[in-house]
Amino acid sequence: QVQLVESGGGVVQPGRSLRLSCAASGFTFSTYAMHWVRQAPGKGLEWVAIISSDGSKKYYGDSVKGRFTISRDNSGNTLFLQMDSLRVEDTTVYYCVRDLDFWGQGMLVTVSS
Amino acid sequence: QTVVTQEPSLTVSPGGTVTLTCASSTGAVTSGYYPSWFQQKPGQPPTTLIYSTSHRQPWTPARFSGSLLGGKAALTLSNVQPEDEAEYYCLLYYNGPYVFGTGTKVTVL
């Protein structure tokens, strides 16, 4: 069955960096576009980024553009989100999503001094 | 900055019908925005109900239907069940990036 397991979250100070990973299994990872979506506590969903199946195309939401980088390793079936210059408002649960059809369980990132 | 607007809350009786809408600040929503709809219950990740305006996922009950209505994307819940009480989000495609709607809280009462 399809599984998406996020990891790499935790507590980080403002201005620092963090790298999230999403391990995919149960499907042919290299044939699907992948997204990151986030949700602040008690708030709505915010689309973060997308990467095409081969990694050649990437797009970002306005609030993370220039600070976050999405990437993937198709040989290792893993999706990444490199988050730099983190801000307090980046404190959210980050979801890995397969082509907008299947969602991971989410990973909490807390940015706090 | 693009804003996608949904009704903040709607209430429906069990067995009734309710329609949620999704409007874009850039103008009329068309099929080219590939509207998707998601359901989220408290403490759970979202699940995908509808993609490309009106296509159900294999796990989506037939009482959920998607359409375009008056320049907006729409999600209609028919024969509403108590378990349909949840937050619903739309998502629109803008030729590269996507934007989520503000979300609609559906209460079944």
pLDDT of the residue at A9: 92
> Who contacts A43 (Cβ-Cβ below 8 Å, separation ≥6)?
A92
Q: Name the burial class of residue A96, with classes exposed (0-12), middle (13-18) and buried (19+) by CB atoms within 10 angstroms of its CB.
A: buried
pLDDT of the residue at A110: 97
- What is the distance between the terminal CA atoms of chain B, rounded to a whole angstrom? 36
Torsion of CA A55, A60, A89, A110, to 10 degrees: -10
Distance from CA of A49 to the nearest CA of B (A): 7
pLDDT of the residue at B77: 98
pLDDT tens for each residue of chain A, 113 residues long:
999 999 999 999 999 999 999 999 999 999 999 999 999 999 999 999 999 999 999 999 999 999 999 999 999 999 999 999 999 999 999 999 999 999 999 999 999 99
pLDDT of the residue at B66: 98
Q: How far apart are CA B4 and CA B59, in angstroms?
A: 26
Q: How far apart are CA B22 and CA B103, in angstroms?
A: 9
Q: How far apart are CA A45 and CA B89, in angstroms?
A: 8
pLDDT tens for each residue of chain B, 109 residues long:
999 999 999 999 999 999 999 999 999 999 999 999 999 999 999 999 999 999 999 999 999 999 999 999 999 999 999 999 999 999 999 999 999 999 999 999 9
Q: For chain B, how many residues are written?
A: 109
Distances (CA, A) of A111 to A13, A47, B2, B33, B99: 5, 19, 26, 33, 23
User: What Rg value do the Cα atoms of chain A yield, rounded?
Assistant: 13
Q: Is B76 on the interface with A (CB under 8 A)?
A: no
pLDDT of the residue at A36: 98
Residue numbers of A between 77 and 96 with CB closer than 8 Å to B: 95
Contact B48 A102 (CB under 8 A): yes
Find chain B residues with C-beta within 8 A of A101's C-beta.
Answer: 48, 51, 57
Q: In what order do the strands lie in the sheet with B72-77?
A: B4-6, B18-24, B72-77, B64-69
The beta-strand segments (E) located in chain A are 3-7, 10-12, 18-25, 34-39, 45-51, 58-60, 68-73, 78-83, 92-98, 102-103, 107-111
Residue A53 near residue A31, CB atoms below 8 Å: yes
